[in-house]
């Protein structure tokens, strides 16, 4: 990964590609690379869909190597949803293939002069950019099938669906998995709209003839990887719960804890949770010939995904994740797994964030556009987004826009981005993360659920404000660093509980890159990323007043505990005081 591919989509005669060295970005990967480029090269006050914004796609520091769990891809830009900096993270094959092709980043910049749609083809022989208007408004599944007809079976694609072409603020970027299905998405913040604004429909990657990246110290790297894998497999969450039931193992856990947002964040428990739980989902999948265990990229050993077949035994979608099942399920009071799986398929095909879409439908239901629990109406809403109807365009721009259009007060967003599947009143640490992260409401930015609910990395009472600031701060720092490595965030469970597994991660980095990093260096990396992101957001007009939850979380008591969010504004302002 010794080069950056820059594509100027505004060049006369169509997009032009040029390869450059790493320069100031030497040694960076993943989120460190995306936020490094965006913070340095993008004017904070620019329009997210304009010529000055850039879309950066970057594999992690360990991607393309033999390191387990190292295939996460970072996508960065100024977000059309939040107006601030964005790093959206995805699985799939994109990071592994792009890294083996030798690229530390792809940067899309400039603005097209017309509405011609392009595809970018990158392989061992170089880069080709071709106009292809036959791809216009194709869903991601049809797009991938069309790519297969031309490029065979050995590619990875990074693409947008109709939502991205329409530049909707909930639009995603799809990355194909090992079976060449567009099931993994850089979902949050409207990154798909930025790719659409650049006139790029698909980036097709083929690493045939490219070798796996080699470590500087093979023996040290091999030993560290062995220790790292062992640590992941022996932890009860990463080694047992996630492989058996996927991320949806959390449904019963959060519902029992009273932190499962229901009926547009008006209650903390859903009476139909058992019907859509991870245990129920795994049983249904296997009974129909699907799988409850599946890895989304080469090198994954947790395998928290799966495959969902319809009632006739035909593939429909990947195993819907916990966040998706909550967003389209409990949040909207829908307890039908087949309906939720169809919503997941439509979201992936149209290229829409499942979290934002589910939260948006919850707001629409509260506005009276449909009854809570009406699965058919929810499916129709998503179809309208894909079709670009007037209502669909409103919904496709997210929960905040929808709430404003239809006069809803309870809109569960921070910095314009919808909250995921944890109510901040019953999981106060995640409330701190939602409020203060640079990314808008985002559970992955500092997953305090681990400690508040699962008892991983210690115990901090989920219902009380004490200890939540320090917890969120430390997790946000650690997460930023993990996002730079290309590692899956689920390695956080064993590295929080097992010091030797954390050390193995540090040793992996050292063995691969020939470094001598310490734990303090990893922390410093996380802090440097967050500092750049916060400086960008400050330039975009964000202040401490944006690091807040909506007022109703402080005023409306959440059943069953009867709690409100009690971390004070003064405490929230201390998160980044290191």
Ranges in the chain, pLDDT < 70: none
End-to-end CA distance of the chain: 32
Tokens 């993008």, residue located: 42
Query: What would the DSSP string read from start to end of 177-219?
Result: -TTS-S-EEE-TTSHHHHHHHTTEEEEEE--TTPPPPPPSSHH
- pTM of the model as a whole: 0.97
Query: What distance in Å separates the CA atoms of residue 193 and residue 163, rounded to the nearest whole number?
Result: 7
Helix axes 399-406, 354-366, angle to 10 degrees: 10
pLDDT at position 258 is 98
Nearest to 282 by CA among 272, 273, 291: 291
Alpha-carbon distance of 167 to 137, in angstroms, equals 12
Domain annotation for the chain: domains and CATH numbers: 3-205 (3.60.9.10), 215-245+424-578 (1.10.599.10), 257-422 (1.10.569.10)
Task: Express each pLDDT in 200-244 by its tens digit.
Answer: 999 999 999 999 999 999 999 999 999 999 999 999 999 999 998
Q: Cα separation of 147 and 204, whole Å? A: 8
* pLDDT of 294: 86
User: What pLDDT is stored for residue 561 in this prediction?
Assistant: 97
Rg (C-alpha) for the chain, rounded Å, is: 22
Instruction: Report DSSP state, residue 58.
Output: E
pLDDT at 296: 86
pLDDT score recorded for residue 530: 98
- Residue 141 is predicted with a pLDDT of 98
Q: What is the pLDDT of residue 297?
A: 87
pLDDT at 324: 98
Dmax over CA atoms of the chain, in Å, equals: 62
């Amino acid at each position: 990964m010794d080069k950056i591919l820059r594509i100027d989509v505004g060049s006369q005669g169509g997009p032009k590609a040029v390869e450059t060295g790493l320069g100031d970005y030497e040694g960076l990967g993943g989120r460190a690379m995306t936020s490094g480029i965006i913070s340095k090269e993008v004017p904070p006050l620019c329009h997210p869909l304009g010529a000055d914004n850039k879309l950066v796609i970057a594999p992690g520091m360990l991607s393309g190597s033999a390191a387990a769990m190292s295939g996460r891809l970072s996508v960065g830009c100024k977000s059309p949803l939040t107006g601030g900096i964005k790093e959206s993270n995805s699985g799939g094959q994109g990071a592994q293939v792009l890294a083996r092709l030798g690229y530390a980043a792809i940067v899309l910049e400039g603005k097209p002069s017309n509405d011609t749609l392009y595809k970018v083809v990158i392989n061992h022989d170089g880069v080709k950019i071709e106009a292809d208007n036959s791809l216009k408004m194709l869903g991601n599944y049809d797009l991938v099938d069309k790519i297969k007809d031309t490029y065979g079976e050995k590619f990875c694609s990074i693409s947008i669906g109709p939502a991205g072409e329409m530049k909707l603020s909930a639009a995603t970027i799809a990355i194909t998995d090992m079976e060449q299905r567009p099931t993994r998405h850089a979902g949050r913040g409207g990154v798909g709209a930025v790719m659409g604004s650049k006139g790029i429909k698909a980036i097709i990657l083929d690493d045939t003839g490219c070798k796996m990246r080699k470590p500087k110290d093979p023996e040290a790297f091999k030993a560290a990887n062995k220790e790292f894998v062992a640590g992941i497999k022996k932890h009860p969450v990463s080694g047992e719960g996630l492989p058996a039931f996927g991320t949806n193992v959390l449904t019963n856990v959060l519902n029992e804890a009273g932190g499962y947002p229901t009926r547009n964040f008006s209650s903390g428990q859903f009476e139909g949770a058992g019907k859509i739980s991870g245990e129920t989902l795994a049983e249904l999948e296997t009974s129909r010939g699907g799988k409850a265990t599946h890895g989304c990229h080469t090198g994954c050993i947790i395998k928290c995904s799966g495959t969902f077949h319809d009632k006739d035994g035909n593939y429909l979608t990947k195993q819907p994740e916990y966040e998706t099942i909550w967003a389209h399920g409990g949040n909207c009071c829908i307890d039908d797994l087949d309906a939720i799986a169809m919503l997941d398929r439509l979201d992936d095909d149209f290229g829409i964030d499942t979290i934002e879409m589910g939260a948006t439908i919850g707001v629409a239901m509260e506005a009276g556009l449909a009854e809570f629990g009406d699965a058919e109406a929810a499916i129709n809403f998503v179809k309208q987004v894909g079709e670009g109807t007037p209502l669909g365009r409103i919904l496709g721009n997210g929960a905040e826009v929808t709430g404003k259009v239809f006069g809803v007060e309870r809109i569960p967003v921070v910095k314009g981005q919808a909250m995921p599947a944890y109510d901040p009143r019953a999981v106060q640490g995640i409330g701190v993360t939602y409020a203060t992260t640079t990314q808008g409401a985002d559970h992955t930015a500092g997953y305090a659920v681990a400690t508040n609910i699962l008892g991983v990395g210690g115990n901090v009472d989920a219902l009380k404000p004490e200890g939540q600031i320090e917890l969120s701060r430390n997790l946000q720092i650690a997460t930023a660093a993990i996002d730079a490595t290309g590692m899956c965030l689920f390695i956080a469970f064993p590295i929080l509980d097992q010091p030797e597994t954390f050390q193995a991660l540090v040793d992996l980095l050292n063995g691969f890159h020939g470094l001598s990093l310490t734990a303090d260096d990893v922390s410093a990396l996380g802090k440097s990323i967050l500092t750049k992101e916060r400086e960008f957001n400050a330039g975009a007009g964000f202040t401490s007043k944006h690091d807040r939850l909506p007022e109703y979380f402080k005023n409306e008591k959440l059943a069953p505990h009867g709690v409100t969010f009690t971390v004070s504004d003064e405490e929230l302002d201390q998160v980044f005081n290191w």
